[in-house]
Amino acid sequence: MNQPLKLSVGITPTGQTPYSAWIQTDVLHTLQNPVSNHPGEHAWITSVQVSELYWMLIIKEIRTAQTQLRNDDITRACNTLERVVAHHEPLNATWKSIAWMTPADLLSILSHAVSKYGQDTALQGWTYRQMVYLLGIKQPEHLQHFASQPARWKQLDDTLAEPSLYDDVLAFLHRAGLPIPRTNEHDHRAPYTPRPEVENAWREIYADPDKYHDLRRLGETLADIAEGFSTWKHLHLMATRRTFGHRAAYFGTEGISWLLPTLQELPFPELWTVRSTVGEPPAICPHLSRQQGR
Ligand code: HEM
């Protein structure tokens, strides 16, 4: 016979249920405060707030994975990073919730936000920037947006100076015996410069998946994360095209021209460049042999 589950039962705070106390529903549902009468503004605020929650979740997961890598616990690090891959699905799906917006909808909401709070830009969002720094895309120039939030400025400045997830991955590969130099000694604030030794290390891993089963799993999980991140950027660009067109944005420069080059920001660069040389090329191009009647 199955044993009954024995749980010690806690005390529900007065005026709450166990569910409301745990999930903080009463607080959560006071946090959406529209500035306009537009019927879609609640969807906009909810969508952005959900994204904020997922960015913070991803930050926490990355930090956990970094600790696990520093402890040489690759199995747990991969489990954690696989959760980051999973979190990108609902994060990227948030765009669906505001896909109904036309320029008229967006501008009518934004104009009320500007008159209430001043001109905003999502560059003032510190969770996204911290996640990006942890992914290894170090751009100190973005700190300028946090001058009026000294605590957040310091938090981002500290994150800039720390090893990124990719730094910890490469340090782990070094300890695992791959021929890459120690990596955690460079200036972490500087933008990452791809190195041939690192690409060679990934090539060695992909060339022998039986020997490097765990490291290959790590590499593919990182590639999935980079793909989720890039997908978000692409969906953001398309939403901007759809709701904003070629208008001037926060900096007075055209928004789409500002965003387009950022699509090139791909985390873990050597994991992508190595793909050109991993695997044996076919002896003869199959199309060519068909054309030549072979
Ligand atoms: C759909 C309407 C949107 C438009 C037209 C738009 C437009 C822009 C533009 C023009 C920029 C470049 C910086 C600037 O000039 O402000 C930008 C950056 C950014 N936006 Fe949006 N945005 C939209 C929705 C969103 C939403 C819903 C989010 C968050 C959930 C978001 C998050 C960001 C982030 C994080 C950046 C910085 C990107 C980077 O550094 O690569 N945006 N956006």
């529209």: which residue's tokens? Answer: 34
**What's residue 90's pLDDT?**
98
pLDDT value of residue 286: 67
What contacts 93, CB < 8 A, 6 or more positions away? Answer: none
Instruction: Report how far ligand 1's centroid is from the alpha carbon of 217 (Å).
Output: 32
Distance between Cα 121 and ligand 1 center (Å): 7
- Give the pLDDT of residue 181: 79
* Domain ranges, ordered by start, for the chain: 41-100+122-279
Distances (CA, A) of 220 to 34, 79, 146, 172, 215: 41, 12, 34, 16, 9
For residue 122, the CA-to-ligand 1 centroid distance in Å is 5
- Cβ contacts of residue 255 below 8 Å, gap of 6+? 240, 244, 246, 247, 248, 249
- Give residue 55 CA to ligand 1 midpoint distance, Å: 14
Which protein residue has the closest C-alpha to ligand 1 atom 20? 122
pLDDT of residue 5: 76
> Which pLDDT does position 4 carry in this prediction?
75
| Closest ligand 1 atom, residue 44 Cα | 27
Distance from residue 54's CA to the centre of ligand 1 (Å):
16
Q: In this predicted structure, what is the pLDDT of residue 294?
A: 53
Low-confidence ranges of the chain (pLDDT < 50): none
Which SS3 state, helix, strand or coil, does residue 13 take? coil
What is the atom index within ligand 1 of the atom nearest the CA of 128? 35
Confidence (pLDDT) at 253: 85
Q: Which of 240, 250, 253, 262 to mutate to test the pocket of ligand 1 (most atoms within 8 A of CB)?
A: 240
What ligand 1 atom has the least distance to the C-alpha of 121? Answer: 16
Residue 182: the pLDDT is 74
For the beta carbon of residue 207, count every other beta carbon within 10 angstroms: 14
Q: Rounded to a whole number, what is the largest CA-CA distance in the chain?
A: 83
Distance, in Å, from the CA atom of 141 to the CA atom of 145, rounded to the nearest integer, reads 9
How far is it, in rounded angstroms, from Cα 24 to Cα 13?
Answer: 12
Report the nearest-CA residue for atom 6 of ligand 1.
240
Ligand 1 center to residue 173 CA distance, Å? 35
Cβ distance 244 to 236 under 8 Å? no
Residue 122 to residue 125: CA distance in whole angstroms = 5
> In the prediction, which pLDDT does 99 show?
97
Ligand 1 centroid–CA 235 distance in Å is 10
Q: Cite the DSSP H helix spans in 178-267.
A: 196-207, 213-244, 255-259
CA-nearest residue for atom 1, ligand 1, is: 239
Ligand 1, pocket residues at CB < 6 Å: 47-48, 51, 106, 121-123, 125, 128, 236, 239-240, 243-244, 249-251, 255, 258-259, 262
Quote the ligand 1 centre to 233 CA distance (angstroms). 9
| For the CA of 101, the nearest atom of ligand 1 | 1
Q: Which atom of ligand 1 is nearest to the CA of 95?
A: 27
pLDDT on residue 250: 83
Q: Is 248 helix (H, G, I), strand (E, B) or coil?
A: strand
CA of 19 to the centre of ligand 1 (A): 34
Second CATH level (architecture) for the domain 41-100+122-279: Up-down Bundle (1.20)
